[in-house]
Amino acid sequence: MARSRSVPTDLFEQPDFFELESDTQIILVGLVLGADDYGRGVAHHRLLARKLDKEERLIEQALTTLQARNWLCCYRVGSGYYYALTCWQEWQTLHKPTPSKYPAPPPSPSDPAPPRDPHPSGDSQGDSGIPQIPLEHPGTTGDIRPEEEEEEEHEHEKEERKRNEDEALPGTAVPALASPLRVGSDDGSLTQGTLLQKTHQVAQILQLPMSEALMRVIIDYGSDESLSLLGEADAAHEWIEDRHRNGKGQVMTPTFFRRWLGRERASMQAYQQLHLQEHTSRTSLSMARVARRRAAPAPSEDPYAAFVERRVRELAAEDSKREAQQKGVAVV
């Protein structure tokens, strides 16, 4: 989101503005500063009162007045209450706007014209007017695939999704299996009921229908303890919904999720292999150092130290002999 906003230099000369009460004027400027790059924001009275340091009743009165004067339009989508500034396109010039996280105002002939949204579908996360970022490998960073491979996979995923939707059964039902499937668990077994439950959970996260293709993915990767199916499903869904990372607009399919898990498994195995090699290298180096210390020859005797030690013994013997002679004791 941009770090600065623009207001016209003649704002205080416009009758629609200087006729407003001073609190309403300040609140309008605060709404402009707090809006995203599409001129939208949350119109929650209590939240705005805290952010703008105004009483809640003043916020409510200001929103009503500003909407009546066509400065903004307030609207509700689901449980959220939002505002959209009608003067936004006239005041702001943004070359690379950040996609809005708030829904666009619903079109209505009686409402003031909302800010222009380059996403006609109403999805504020579209990529129109936004520079495309090269597609990364799911689950990795910085790895770019050739465009030909991306286009081929994109078309393949569309066909796969359509085929899975046609084959999917309503609800969580899947074709009956000839024998219970076991895909691995802590005790080495997983019943068909548990498999269906996991498949249903993953399908809900990925927003896919229950299908045999998705269940086969769970069977193939459910026994891998290094992967968390639900966690990877969350990550894959987040990647698909991120228009910046998913620059080619790939759709979620069981095939895409299989590739995602395959890349994550390969990445984990490569990391473990590298860690094992480093550990082996450190162990070999330590063993080599110990072997060198054991094979090193014992240090040779210092001639000077041996001379000093011998001379000390001789002097001590002469002192003993002298003391004995002084006492009259014969020394043999």
Q: What number is the average pLDDT over the span 101-106? A: 88
Domains of the chain: 1-131 (1.10.10.10), 147-268 (no CATH)
Q: What number is the average pLDDT over the span 226-237? A: 86
Report helix angle 56-68 to 45-52, nearest 10: 110
CA distances to 29, 31, 64, 115 from 57, rounded to whole Å, are 18, 16, 11, 27
pLDDT in tens, 277-289: 777 878 877 787 7
Greater confidence (123 vs 8) lies with 8
pTM score, whole prediction: 0.34
Greater confidence (153 vs 112) lies with 153
Please give the biggest Cα pair distance in the chain: 138
CA-derived radius of gyration, the chain: 39
* Whole-angstrom distance, CA of residue 160 vs CA of residue 250: 12
Extract the tokens encoding 75.
């609207």
User: In the chain, at which residue ranges do the beta strands (DSSP E only) sit?
Assistant: 40-42, 72-77, 80-85
Of 156, 261, 170, whose CA–CA distance to 211 is shortest? 170
pLDDT in tens, 147-173: 444 555 556 566 665 555 544 444 444
Q: Which residues contact 156 (CB under 8 A, 6 or more apart)?
A: 255
